[in-house]
Amino acid sequence: MASTGGRAPASRSSGSSGQLGSGGRRGDGNIGGGGGGGGGAAMDASGSAPPLEVNGGPPSKTAAKLSKMLPEGCSPGVIGECDYDSTSADYYFNSYAHFGMYVAWVGRGGGSEQMLKDRTRTLAYMRAIMENPHLFAGKTVLDVGCGTGVLSMFACKAGAKKVYAVECSKIVDQAREIVKRNHYDDVIEIIEGKMEEVPLPEPVDIIISEWMGYFLFYESMLDSVLYARDKWLTPGGLIFPDKATLYVCAIEDAVYKKDKIDFWENVYGFDMSCIKNLALTEPLVDEVDAEQVMSDIVPVLQVDVATVTKEQLCFAVPFTLTAARTDFVHAIVSFFDVSFTHCHKPVVLSTGPYTHATHWKQTVLYLDRALAMDVGETMSGTLACRPNAKNPRDLDVAASYTFSGRNGTFSNLLRYRLR
């Protein structure tokens, strides 16, 4: 597949405030079936899960929320606005096309080696495809962003009659060699180019793609998948995966935040807090230890890849988080599940803190202050997101919160840029 990010957003290289022990990351990555990785979705008073915004909700409702949360031309800001003159425009394809990235990038947050070594991710796709030959046998398959071609080869093993593997970067040269070495060159046709620009010889029965990015949507290929769906997928055709759910929770993260963020307030006696302001506006992509999670985990957005439109990928959705223990809240964390619901035994790939780590990790949005929450107290807010106007591969993200508890009443609207 094509990389989920031309470069990785900010990340921390070592652990967080808690050590991972017997109560840490749990489960088997949810690659077999059953529930997602939310780790306990919030329930309303009736005992039912609250309704999710599906595909972003009604366009008019979403537009009104977005205009308030992320007005046109707004700058990111958590403890003061930051000026962003540059974006990551043109970086994605130019850097990704270089083959050396596939080896070197593993230490910097991306690349094919990292993704192939992500067993949770790769085994989920392998099981979804290879354990369902009744869906693939004799079918024509399109792999959007094929990268090294591993998903295309899974489809061949499942009995696909023909696989069109589309990739825009020069990794296609290696993909062709890999396909040939594994004797699938009579079934898999590697096509170099952007999905929106290449013609296919025929419609397809199934689309497979590892389109997800950090925060689900950062530098994702979902737009390309939707284009392929509308232009090339036969009526009744299948998409793998076909569902995605975005979750949020609250975490305690005092040790790391003090060491890496508050550090800029006094650097050898000098005030460098302008860098702190900038650092806070860039969401952190890193593994969150399960012990840090101090609230329930709430699903806020559900995407049906079979029906969602590009316009609905801009969203503003409400959330309410309830403290599971008395502690401080330093950040809101987001992660996602994707589901392969057409499988005989549904397969779920989770990127949450209670499952095996994936290369997507989790996305951390630091607050402007630490909130002292008692067990049972709640924090409500809205999470909003849309592509940046200058570079659609960057994401403008906003989070509002309101908290009123024993230790005070606080509210704010915080804006970030994932770039």
**Rounded distance between C-alpha atoms, residue 352 and residue 273, angstroms:** 32
Q: Residue 109 is which amino acid?
A: G
> pLDDT-derived band of residue 138, with 50, 70 and 90 as boundaries?
very high
Of the two residues 154 and 88, the one the predictor is more confident about is 154
pLDDT at 152: 98
Q: Which helix (H) or strand (E) holds 117?
A: helix 112-117
Q: Look up 282 and say whether it is catalytic.
A: no
pLDDT at 280: 87
Inform me whether the pLDDT recorded for 94 exceeds 70: no
Inform me whether the pLDDT recorded for 1 exceeds 60: no
Q: How far is CA 119 from CA 93, 227, 359, in A?
A: 25, 29, 10
Of 53, 219, 252, 287, which one is the catalytic site residue? 219
Share of the chain above pLDDT 90, in %: 61
pLDDT digits (tens, 9 = 90+) for 371-405: 999 999 999 999 999 998 888 878 999 999 999 99
Contact (CB, 8 A) for 385 and 365: no
- The stretch 295-307 carries a mean pLDDT of 96
Based on the number of CB atoms within 10 Å of its own CB, is 326 exposed (0-12), middle (13-18) or buried (19 or more)? Answer: middle
Query: Angle at Cα 35 formed by Cα 126 and Cα 382, nearest 5°?
Result: 110
> pLDDT-derived band of residue 259, with 50, 70 and 90 as boundaries?
confident
Of the two residues 402 and 58, the one the predictor is more confident about is 402
Q: Look up 131 and say whether it is catalytic.
A: no
Query: Angle at Cα 105 formed by Cα 173 and Cα 349, nearest 5°?
Result: 90
Of 167, 210, 291, 377, which one is the catalytic site residue? 210
pLDDT digits (tens, 9 = 90+) for 166-200: 999 889 999 999 999 999 999 999 999 999 999 99
pLDDT at 116: 66
Based on the number of CB atoms within 10 Å of its own CB, is 28 exposed (0-12), middle (13-18) or buried (19 or more)? Answer: exposed
pTM: 0.81
